[in-house]
């Protein structure tokens, strides 16, 4: 499903834009469920992972709606993940971040989970699902294409514009697959409306999940999952349990 040019884009630039991947029906369904959860969880929203001044968050979404079970199995996104991470990978976390209107929600440049490529290569890859249009004014993700190949982290508290920096803009329904070793960070929302994004984050099989799915996903949800989904969540993998349960709940920069 990925063309040679799309694979080269991931290899060389570190990201790939997939316009309208969600389609109108899925976009509407995800938006509706996200707003229901924000209303239901109130001030506790995002508490399973992290809460953030200037933005609203949701976490542990596989446990919170059948639509999210479908999201994690999106074939084109999984193919892109396999291209970056290799054939053996798993879901690390599934969250939503909504940048508040006129909110001070800019992030410093970072690599997700503070990850550096190791002797086996890359081990974190994210996908940013645009639930609203991403514009230059409303908190779109800034990134430095190619920085995933540098094998170093950005300096601490790096908010200033950098040479080669780009803003990733697009219409709602677009999905951006991003090698999460690439330097990136959300910009500030200077508009009067929230800017919502869903982050479907994967990691190589031998690394811990950011949110330990086996502990977070309720038994009744686990029972209805397909074998493919169970494997992607590492629900039946004993080797995953010790390292992921030990590190579950550790926060790190994710948009």
Phi, psi values for residue 86, rounded to 5°: 95, 175
Fill in the DSSP letter of residue 176: E
Helix (H/G/I), strand (E/B), else coil: 106: coil
**How far is Cα 150 from Cα 171, in angstroms, rounded to an integer?**
30
Residue 157 neighbours by CB under 8 Å, 6+ apart: 108
Site of tokens 């999952």: 225
**How far is Cα 90 from Cα 229, in angstroms, rounded to an integer?**
10
pLDDT score, position 105: 84
pLDDT score, position 103: 83
pLDDT score, position 243: 56
In order along its 255 residues, the chain shows pLDDT tens digits of 899 999 999 999 999 999 999 999 999 999 999 999 999 999 999 999 999 999 999 999 999 999 999 999 999 999 999 999 999 999 999 999 999 999 888 999 999 999 999 999 999 999 999 999 999 999 999 999 999 999 999 999 999 999 999 999 999 999 999 999 999 999 999 999 999 999 999 999 999 999 999 999 999 999 999 999 999 999 997 766 655 555 554 444 444
Q: Contacts for 241-245 with beta carbons within 8 Å, 24 or more apart? A: 241/214, 243/208, 244/208, 244/209, 244/212, 244/213, 244/214, 245/212, 245/214, 245/215
Tell me which residue of 118, 119, 122, 93 sits closest to 202, measured CA to CA.
Answer: 93
Task: Determine contact, residues 96/174, Cβ cutoff 8 Å.
Answer: no
Q: Calculate the CA 41 to chain-centre distance.
A: 21
Tell me which residue of 183, 140, 14, 1 sits closest to 77, measured CA to CA.
Answer: 1
The arrangement of secondary structure in 4-247, i.e. its CATH architecture, is Sandwich (2.60)
**How far is Cα 251 from Cα 110, in angstroms, rounded to an integer?**
13
């Amino acid at each position: 499903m990925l063309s040679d040019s799309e694979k080269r884009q991931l290899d060389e630039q570190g990201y790939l834009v997939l316009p309208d991947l969600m389609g109108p029906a899925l976009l509407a369904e995800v938006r509706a469920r996200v707003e229901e959860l924000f209303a239901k969880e109130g001030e506790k929203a995002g508490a399973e992972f992290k809460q953030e001044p200037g933005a609203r968050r949701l976490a542990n979404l596989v446990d919170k709606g059948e639509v999210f079970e479908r999201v994690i199995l999106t074939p084109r996104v999984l193919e892109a993940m396999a291209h970056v991470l290799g054939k053996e990978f798993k879901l690390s976390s599934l969250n939503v971040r909504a940048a508040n209107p006129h909110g001070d929600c800019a992030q410093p440049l970072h690599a997700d989970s503070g990850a550096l490529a190791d002797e086996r290569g890359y081990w974190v890859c994210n996908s940013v699902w645009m639930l609203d249009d991403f514009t230059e004014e409303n908190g779109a993700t800034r990134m430095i294409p190619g920085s995933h190949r540098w094998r170093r982290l950005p300096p601490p508290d790096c908010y200033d514009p950098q040479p080669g920096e780009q803003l990733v803009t697009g219409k709602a329904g677009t999905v951006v697959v991003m090698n999460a070793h690439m330097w990136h960070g959300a910009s500030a929302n200077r508009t009067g409306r929230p800017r919502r994004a869903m982050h479907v984050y994967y990691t190589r099989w031998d690394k811990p999940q950011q949110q330990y799915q086996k502990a977070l996903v309720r038994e009744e949800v686990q029972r209805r999952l397909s074998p493919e989904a169970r494997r992607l969540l590492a629900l039946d993998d004993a080797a995953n349990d010790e390292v992921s349960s030990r590190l579950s709940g550790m926060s790190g920069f994710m948009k």
